């Protein structure tokens, strides 16, 4: 059912996410959706939890990589779920349960990214620390994440103007910390 819900969100958007569509998609009776999930909100929350668990595992693996900042940047700009993420963000505006899960995911993923950036600055030493002193790790993480999301969303639409240039800037900053 969760796979079906994700597919519907990706293909048709949250407005088409109904128990009937999910049941049709996975080949079950509509009543079974409500047997396993009390409400559609419960189903949407669980679908987002599953997605966020996968993404957090990717970030945690990136932290253990030889070059974690490069790995995290790769995750940020190479997602196959740009449409799905956009749909969950839209759902977060309509569902308190989804909103709470989205907030928890963003905060946890940002903590992991800040940890990676802070460790890279510490490894690089005071020169890197001085160069980035005006930009706290949480602010740099926020900017990079926002750029990554914008690149992914625009690329999905077919926009590419400025993408190579901003990617080169971010890569240069990351390579300063992780040659």
Segment 92-101, tens digit of pLDDT: 999 999 999 9
Assigned domain for 145 exists: yes
Residue range(s) defining the domain that contains residue 109:
44-177
Compute CA 62 distance to the chain's CA centroid, rounded to the nearest angstrom.
14
Please report which confidence band the pLDDT of residue 37 belongs to, taking 50, 70 and 90 as the band edges.
very high
> What is the Cα–Cα distance from 179 to 173, expressed in whole angstroms?
10
| Structure confidence at residue 135 (pLDDT) | 79
Which pTM was predicted?
0.85
In the three-class reduction of DSSP (H, G, I as helix; E, B as strand; rest coil), residue 13 is classed as coil
Number of domains in the chain: 1
Q: From residue 93, give the alpha-carbon distance in Å to each of 9, 55, 87, 172, 177.
A: 15, 21, 10, 36, 37
Assigned domain for 35 exists: no
Which position has the higher pLDDT, 142 or 133? Answer: 142
Which position has the higher pLDDT, 77 or 69? Answer: 69
For residue 117, give both structure tokens: 């950036």
Query: How many CB atoms are located within 10 Å of the residue 104 CB?
Result: 14
Residue 80 pLDDT exceeds 70:
no
Assigned domain for 71 exists: yes
Rounded mean pLDDT, 44-49: 96
Which position has the higher pLDDT, 124 or 162? Answer: 162
Instruction: Taking the CA atoms of 128, 129, 133 and 137 in sequence, report the sign of the dihedral they define.
Output: positive
Please report which confidence band the pLDDT of residue 177 belongs to, taking 50, 70 and 90 as the band edges.
confident
Assigned domain for 66 exists: yes
Which spans in 64-159 are helix H?
A: 68-77, 82-92, 96-124, 126-131, 137-157
């Amino acid at each position: 059912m969760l796979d079906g819900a994700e597919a519907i969100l990706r293909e048709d958007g949250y407005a088409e996410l109904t128990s009937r569509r999910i049941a049709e998609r996975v080949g079950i009776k509509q009543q079974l959706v409500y047997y396993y999930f009390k409400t559609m909100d419960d189903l949407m929350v669980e679908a987002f939890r599953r997605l966020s668990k996968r993404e957090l595992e990717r970030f945690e693996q990136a932290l253990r990589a030889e070059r974690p900042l490069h790995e995290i940047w790769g995750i940020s700009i190479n997602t196959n779920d740009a449409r799905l993420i956009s749909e969950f963000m839209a759902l977060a505006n309509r569902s308190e349960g989804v909103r709470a899960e989205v907030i928890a995911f963003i905060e946890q993923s940002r903590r992991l990214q800040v940890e990676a950036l802070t460790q890279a600055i510490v490894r690089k030493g005071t020169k890197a620390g001085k160069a980035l002193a005006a930009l706290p790790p949480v602010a740099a993480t926020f900017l990079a994440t926002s750029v990554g999301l914008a690149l992914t969303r625009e690329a999905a639409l077919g926009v590419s103007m400025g993408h190579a240039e901003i990617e080169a800037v971010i890569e240069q900053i990351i390579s300063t910390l992780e040659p």
